Chain A
Amino acid sequence: MWQSLVDTIHNLIPWFDGGLADVVIILIKGLALIFPLIIAMAYMTYAERKVIGFMQLRIGPNRVGPLGLLQPFADVFKMMFKEIIFPSKSNIYLFLLAPILAFVPAVAVWAVVPFGEGFYIANLDVSLLYVMAIGSVGVYGIVLAGWASNSKYPLLGALRSTALLISYELVIGFVLVTVVMIASSVNLNTVVEKQAGGIFNWYWIPLFPMMIVFWIGALVETNRAPFDVVEGESEIVGGTHVEYSGMPFALFFMAEYFNMIFMAMLAVLLFFGGWHSPFEGIPLLEGWFEFVPDLFWLLFKMSFFLFLYFWIRASFPRFRYDQIMRLCWKIFLPLTIVWIFVVALMTQLHIGPWF
C-alpha cells in the first residue's frame, strides 16, 4: 500500500524517492497515530469527569457545547493561552526539559503497539523490552521536575515517585516475564497472535493473578488513584507539578493520560487477546460477529480498562506511601516469582490450550 503511494508521488515529483520518501512516510504514520491519541486523551478527561460525576451523584461538565462535549477543547485553549511562570530560583533548562522528557517517552512507546493484524508502525523484535525501556525513561520527567523546581513539595513528590516507579517496574517486569514464557516471544505481535482463538485462549486465565498484579502496577506507574501519592493533593499540594503552569503543565498532563491509555492497551495486548474477537472458535457467534473489524475489538477492550481507571479512582481512598511499598515488595514480588515457577511447570507439562 505504501509502495504504491510512494510511486504515485514519485511520478508527480521526480526527486521524491528513497530516503526522503521513507522519512515522509514515517512522519505521516507518526501523525496518524498521534492525532487520534490526542483526541482520545482529550475525551478521556471528559469521560473521566462524567463517569466520576455519575458515581458521586453529580452531573459533571455540561456547559460547553451539547452535554458538555466541547469541554476538552475549552480546557485545551485555556491551557495554551495561560502564562508560563518560571520560579525565580529554578534551573530553567532542566525546568523546561522535564515536561519534554515526560512527554516524549509516553508517545514513543506507541510505536510498537500492534493495532491489528499487520497494522503497526514498527514490528520490533524486542518490542516488549522496548516498552519497558522507554517506559522507564519517563521517570526522568518527574525526577527532573521535582529537582529543577527548587521547591519542597515537588521534591517530595519526585522522591516518592522515583522509589515507587523503580519498585513497581520490577513487579511489572516479572509479570511480563510470565507472559513471555507462555508466548515464548518478546514481540508484541507474536504475543497477540499466540492468543488467537476465542476468549478462553487469552492469557488472562492462566495468568489471572498476574493480570491483577499488572493492573495494580499499571495504576502505580501512571500515578493514578488510589496510588497517586506523587501528586497527593491533600498531602503535598500537587506533587511534582506544583510550579508548572500553562503548556509545560499540559505536557505532564498529556503524558500521564497517554501512559494511562498505553497501560490499558498493554493489558489488552498481553492478557486479553489484543485485536482478536472474543467469539473466535464459538460456532454461531463467530459468524454473527464476523463483520466487526479487529480495531473495534481492540479499542472496545481498551475502553473497558480505561473505564476501570475511573471506577477505581472513584471507589478507593488513597494508600499510604509505606503501604504501597509493602504491597510491592512483600506481596507482589513473592507472588510473581512463585507464579513464574508455576508457569514454568505448566509450560513443561503442557496444561490447557495456552502452552
Chain B
Amino acid sequence: MMITSRNTAKAALFLILTFFSAASLWLLLEAEFLAITLILIYVGAVMVLFMFVIKMLDTDQSTLRAQFTRYLPLGIFVSIIVIAQIVLVLNAGQFDIAMTGIPEKHDASYSNITAIAEQLYTLYVYPFELAAILLLIAIIAAITLVHRNESRSKKQNISEQINVQAKDRMRIVSIKPKSAKESK
C-alpha cells in the first residue's frame, strides 16, 4: 500500500502503519523495548520529519507520471534481479522454523531492557560507542555543510534583540513649540 499509493502523504502514513506492524511483531517476540524504541524513533521522529518535508514539497502528479515510462525498462530489470535474489535466499533453507527453533518463552520477571543493557554495555560496548561517534560525526558534517556560506542567511541575533534598550532604538527630540504668531 505504501508503494502503490499515488499520494505521497498517504504513502508516508502507510509506512507508519508498517512500522507499527513491525513493532507489534517485536512485541509478540517479547522484545518490548525494541518495539517501543522503534515507534519512538521511527514513528515519533523520523516519519514526522518525512511528513514535514512532504508538506514542503510540491509534488506534481503529471510530471511524475511523465517520467514513469522512461525509467520503466531499467526499473523492471532491477526489480527482477532483486526478486530473484530474495527467492534464492528464501529457498536456501536458512529461514525454516526448524533452523532457528521456536523462540523460548520467558516468565513475567524477565526484563527485556536488562537483557539488552547487559549485552550492549558489557560485551558490545566498543562497537556501540563507535556507532555513536560515527553518528555524531555525521551530524557535525551536516551542520558544517549547511553553515558554509553564512552570507546568505538572514539570521537574527536574538540576545541582541532581547537586550535592546530604549535608548538604542528611540531618539528623543525636543521641538520648540512654535508661537501662535509664527504659525500664521
Residues of A within 8 A of B (CB): 91, 94, 97, 124-126, 129-130, 132-137, 139-140, 143-144, 146-148, 155, 158-159, 162-163, 165-166, 169, 186, 322-323, 326
- Which residues 8-60 in B have Cβ within 8 Å of A in the complex? 9-10, 13, 16, 32-33, 36-37, 39-40, 43-45, 48-49, 51-52, 54-56
Instruction: For chain B, residues 91 to 124, give those with C-beta under 8 angstroms from any C-beta of chain A.
Output: 111-113
CB distance from A299 to the nearest CB of B (A): 28
Contacts A126-B33, A130-B36 given; does A140 touch B51 at CB 8 Å: yes
Known contacts being A94-B10, A137-B39, is A125 close to B44, with CB within 8 Å?
Answer: no
The 3 closest A-B pairs by CB, nearest first: A136-B44, A133-B40, A133-B39
Q: Are B43 and A133 in contact (CB under 8 A)?
A: yes
Cβ-defined partner of A162 (8 Å) among B9, B37, B52, B156 = B52
Q: How far is the CA of A97 from the CA of B156 in the complex (A)?
A: 38
Given contacts A125-B111, A130-B36, A323-B158, contact A147 B55 (CB under 8 A): yes
Considering the complex, give the chain B residue whose CB is closest to the CB of A97.
Answer: B13
Is A137 a contact partner of B51 (Cβ separation < 8 A)?
no
Chain B residue numbers with a CB within 8 Å of A136 are 39-40, 43-45, 48
> What chain B residues lie within 8 Å of A129 (beta carbons)?
33, 36-37, 40
> What A residues does B40 contact at CB under 8 A?
129, 132-133, 136
Contact A166 B45 (CB under 8 A): yes
Q: Which of B48, B56, B111 has the most CB of A within 10 A?
A: B48
| Chain A binding surface SS class | helix
Instruction: Check A159–B16 contact: CB distance below 8 A.
Output: no
- When chains A and B are docked, how far (Å) is the Cα of A130 from the Cα of B39? 9
Q: How far is the CA of A134 from the CA of B13 in the complex (A)?
A: 16
**A125 close to B32 (CB less than 8 A):** yes
- Which A residues lie within 8 Å of B7 (CB)? 91
Instruction: For B23, give the chain A residue with the smallest CB separation.
Output: A133
Q: Are A143 and B51 in contact (CB under 8 A)?
A: yes
The answer to whether A163 and B52 touch (CB under 8 A), given A322-B158, A323-B158, is yes
Q: In the complex, given contacts A94-B13, A126-B36, A143-B48, what are 17 additional A-B residue pairs having Cβ atoms less than 8 angstroms apart?
A: A97-B13, A125-B33, A125-B111, A126-B32, A130-B36, A133-B40, A140-B48, A143-B52, A144-B9, A147-B54, A158-B55, A159-B55, A162-B49, A162-B51, A166-B48, A169-B44, A326-B158
Q: Which residues of B contact A133 (CB under 8 A)?
A: 36-37, 39-40, 43-44
- Docked complex Cα distance between A94 and B55 (Å): 14
Smallest CB gap from A137: residue in B:
B43
Q: Is the CB of A165 within 8 A of B48?
A: yes
Q: Whole-angstrom distance from the CB of B90 to the nearest CB of chain A?
A: 32
Query: CA A130 – CA B43 in complex, angstroms?
Result: 13
Closest-by-CB residue of A relative to B10 is A94
A125: contacting residue among B37, B39, B43, B113, CB under 8 A: B113
Complexed CA–CA distance, A159 and B52 (Å): 7
